[in-house]
């Protein structure tokens, strides 16, 4: 009988799905991954058994646009940036993923990755092979419903991005700050340049607007971090309703 291999393992992981830490993994998926909140225990345990651990160093490419799409992933530790190449050859940041975020669902209905993803710091992922995920969706309709809910959420996020693209640089930066505040809390572990990239503003414009926000007391900055200090004031400037 031919020995089963796992070509989707990242270099150096050397582990197969499941294992001694399956109980801890189930607990992580249940408590930290909001996307899985509605799944019954039986379906979630099936997903946990298929998870493969992967590790990526800072600045290492996790997924590259155009490469074969063969699994979805969940961030366990670290930060993952989703980005696309612009027509000028630079990177356009789309989103920053934190522990508990899932990504790569495009693999379920496409042959290649549509965007790039890069580790912003040393990051650990759990990945589920595409073929097995599709089998589980057939067997557990509740998992199919979860995937649909994920795509609806992504459409809302992209719709918001399109809307904000027509706003001023200040409003785009404030929207990015508020979005990241709800992910990280008051202390956002990203540089001003990182946040500016998410907002689609130039470094000069980002620095100028952040200087204004610092002076008026809405934010503070320190090495590699931005501190959100006054949410109501930021929401008022954004025109939050």
Look up residue 9 and give its DSSP letter. S
Is 26 within a domain?
Answer: yes
Last residue of a domain, one of 127, 162, 197: 162
Amino acid 188: pLDDT: 93
Amino acid 129: pLDDT: 92
CATH assignment at residue 199: 1.10.10.10
Amino acid 93: pLDDT: 84
Amino acid 2: pLDDT: 35
Q: Are residues 134 and 218 in the same domain?
A: no
Q: Which residues of the chain have pLDDT under 50?
A: 1-20
Last residue of a domain, one of 101, 130, 162: 162
Quote the domain boundaries for residue 208.
168-238
Q: Are residues 126 and 28 in the same domain?
A: yes
CATH assignment at residue 55: 2.60.120.10
Amino acid 11: pLDDT: 33
Amino acid 156: pLDDT: 82
Q: Which helix (H) or strand (E) holds 93?
A: strand 91-97
For 173-200, give one letter per residue: b (16+ CB within 10 A) or e.
bbbbbebbbeebeeebbbbbebbbbbbb
Helices 231-238/169-184 angle, 10° precision: 140
Domain total in the chain: 2
Task: Yes or no: say if 54 and 133 are a contact pair by the CB < 8 Å rule.
Answer: no
Is 7 within a domain?
Answer: no
Q: Are residues 145 and 216 in the same domain?
A: no
Is 196 within a domain?
Answer: yes
Is 10 within a domain?
Answer: no
**Structure confidence by residue, pLDDT tens digits, 161-176:** 778 778 899 999 999 9
Q: Are residues 55 and 135 in the same domain?
A: yes
Q: What does the CA dihedral 69, 139, 103, 121 come to, rounded to 10 degrees?
A: -90
Q: Are residues 124 and 148 in the same domain?
A: yes
Q: Are residues 99 and 127 in the same domain?
A: yes
Amino acid 103: pLDDT: 92
Confirm whether pTM is higher than 0.85.
Answer: no
Which 3-state string (H, E, C) describes 121-132? CCEEEEEEEHHH
């Amino acid at each position: 009988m031919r020995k089963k291999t796992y070509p989707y393992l990242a270099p150096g992981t050397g582990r197969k799905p499941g294992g001694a830490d399956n109980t801890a993994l189930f607990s992580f998926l249940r408590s930290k991954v909001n996307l899985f909140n509605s799944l019954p225990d039986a379906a979630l345990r099936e997903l946990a058994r298929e998870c493969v651990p992967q590790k990526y160093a800072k600045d290492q490419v996790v997924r590259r646009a155009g490469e074969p799409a063969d699994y979805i992933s969940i961030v366990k530790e670290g930060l993952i940036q989703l980005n696309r190449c612009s027509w000028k050859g630079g990177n356009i940041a789309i989103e920053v993923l934190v522990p508990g975020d899932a990504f790569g669902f495009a693999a379920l209905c496409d042959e290649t990755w549509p965007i790039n993803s890069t580790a912003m710091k040393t990051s650990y992922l759990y990945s589920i092979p595409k073929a097995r995920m599709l089998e589980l969706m057939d067997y557990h309709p509740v998992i199919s419903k979860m995937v649909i809910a994920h795509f609806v959420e992504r459409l809302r996020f992209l719709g918001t991005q399109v809307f904000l693209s027509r706003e001023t640089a200040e409003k785009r930066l404030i929207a990015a700050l508020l979005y990241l505040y709800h992910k990280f809390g008051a202390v956002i572990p990203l540089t001003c340049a990182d946040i500016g990239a998410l907002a689609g503003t130039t470094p000069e414009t980002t620095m100028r607007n952040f200087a204004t926000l610092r002076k008026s007391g809405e934010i503070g900055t320190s090495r590699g971090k931005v501190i959100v200090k006054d949410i109501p004031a930021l929401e008022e400037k954004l025109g939050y309703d």
